[in-house]
C-alpha cells in the first residue's frame, strides 16, 4: 500500500464506519498483549504494619494474586522509605514523607518493603482487588 502524501489523508485512513459508529481501523498480524480490569472489583483490605529503622519489613505478607493496587499512607511523624529489594543496605529507596500517601498499580506476588528513619512506626496499607 502506498501512503498518501497529505497528512490529513493519512489521518482519515485510520477510521472506518461500523454499524453507524466511527471506529479506529486496526489491520495487521501478530498482535500481542493483554487486557486487565483495574480498580475495586472484588474487595479491599486495610492493614496496619509495624516497621523499624533496622530491617526492611514486607508491607503485604499475604500477597493476594488478585490485587491490582497497594496504597501506603505515612502518618508516622517521620520519613519512610520503600524498596522492592530487602537486601539493600541502609535507608535507601523511594521517600514517603510524613502525612503523605503513595499508591502502586501492582499485581500478584510483587513484594514491597519499608523502613522508617528512626525507631519504629506503623504504616497504613490498603489493597484493592
Domains and CATH numbers, the chain: 44-128 (2.60.120.770)
In the chain, the percentage of residues whose pLDDT exceeds 70 is 91
How many C-beta atoms lie closer than 10 Å to residue 77's C-beta?
12
Distance CA 61, CA 50 (A): 12
- The per-residue pLDDT for 95 is 97
- The per-residue pLDDT for 102 is 96
Cell (9 digits) for 49: 504494619
pLDDT (tens digit per residue) in 25-52: 777 777 787 776 666 778 888 999 999 9
- The per-residue pLDDT for 57 is 96
Distance CA 45, CA 50 (A): 16
Could you tell me the pTM of the whole model? 0.69
Amino acid at each position: 500500500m502506498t501512503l498518501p502524501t497529505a497528512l490529513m489523508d493519512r489521518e482519515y485512513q485510520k477510521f472506518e464506519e461500523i454499524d453507524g459508529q466511527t471506529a479506529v481501523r486496526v489491520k495487521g498480524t501478530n498482535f500481542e498483549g493483554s487486557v486487565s480490569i483495574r480498580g475495586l472489583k472484588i474487595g479491599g483490605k486495610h492493614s496496619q504494619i509495624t516497621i523499624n529503622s533496622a530491617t526492611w519489613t514486607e508491607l503485604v505478607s499475604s500477597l493476594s494474586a488478585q490485587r491490582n493496587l497497594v496504597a501506603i499512607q505515612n502518618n508516622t511523624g517521620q520519613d519512610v522509605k520503600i524498596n522492592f529489594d530487602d537486601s539493600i543496605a541502609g535507608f535507601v529507596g523511594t521517600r514517603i514523607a510524613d502525612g503523605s500517601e503513595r499508591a502502586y498499580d501492582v499485581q500478584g506476588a510483587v513484594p514491597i518493603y519499608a523502613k522508617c528513619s528512626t525507631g519504629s512506626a506503623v504504616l497504613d496499607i490498603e489493597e484493592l482487588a
